[in-house]
Amino acid sequence: MITVFKKELASFLNSSVAWMVILVFLAGIGLPTWVFPETSVLDYGYADLTSLFTTGPWLLMFLSSAVTMKTFAEERKMGTLDMLLTRPVGDLGIVAGKFLAAWTLVFLALLPTVTYYFSVYELGNPPGNLDTPGFLGSWLGLMLLAGVFTSFGILGSSITNSQIVSFLVSALLCFLMWTGWESMAEILSWADATIIRQLGIFNHYESIGRGLIDSRDLVYFLSLIVINLTVSLTILASRKW
């Protein structure tokens, strides 16, 4: 697994496309936070980073899909997938290594946003007038969300040999899990809606964003990651059937 992780991460970091995607992501997340009048921290008048954590999930859908779209799709297209899967590391090690490499790249893309905290911290009146637990919880939520979206990307890439199809499938899965349960809850009764919202990502992301780390939210995110990687592993193993 470590070998696959290092190889995949090096491949990502040596790719100009990956860096371009990261730059587009940072621009997409930075402009609403600092520039656009409707959402800018500077125009809002409060030491608050809500715009970062409301815009971030939507951009993460596309970032994670773009980063993972070639993980298995390219291997299928080049005809090297069977050779890769016959290596001693095993199917699980390959899937886990590729997933961790992609998640690490998304982490590196998110890392510069930590500087937003220190900037807003100093801009507060008085300096330091900022909800630190809320920021830490929301940032952790973004990282867990990135992990879930990345696992959807691995799943999308495992079913096709087309990077475009992989991108579209993973982006669609992320979108449905982010908005689908909330939309369904809106058309049902209050009792049913409460249960349904618990199945969606948004509810758990919002809960962590309050700064209160609940083990149920952590279990939810990690379970989704495990489920997606297990399905991906099953799809790849089906070549032996």
pLDDT in tens, 187-221: 776 556 777 888 889 889 988 887 778 888 999 99
Please indicate, yes or no, if residue 175 is contained in any of the structural domains: yes
Please indicate, yes or no, if residue 213 is contained in any of the structural domains: yes
As a whole number of angstroms, the distance between CA 18 and CA 175 comes to: 22
Please indicate, yes or no, if residue 191 is contained in any of the structural domains: yes
Mean pLDDT (the chain) is 84
Please indicate, yes or no, if residue 12 is contained in any of the structural domains: yes
For the chain, the domain total comes to: 1
Please indicate, yes or no, if residue 17 is contained in any of the structural domains: yes
pTM: 0.90
Task: Express each pLDDT in 29-85 by its tens digit.
Answer: 888 877 777 777 766 666 677 788 888 999 999 999 999 998 888 877 777 766 666
Helix 201-208 / helix 215-237 crossing angle, nearest 10 deg: 140
| pLDDT at residue 76, as a whole number | 79
Where residue 16 falls among pLDDT bands split at 50, 70, 90?
confident
pLDDT exceeds 60 at position 241 = no
Please indicate, yes or no, if residue 163 is contained in any of the structural domains: yes
Whose CA is closest to 218, among 144, 149, 153, 152?
A: 144
| pLDDT at residue 167, as a whole number | 94
| Domain extent at residue 184 | 2-234
Please indicate, yes or no, if residue 135 is contained in any of the structural domains: yes
Please indicate, yes or no, if residue 240 is contained in any of the structural domains: no
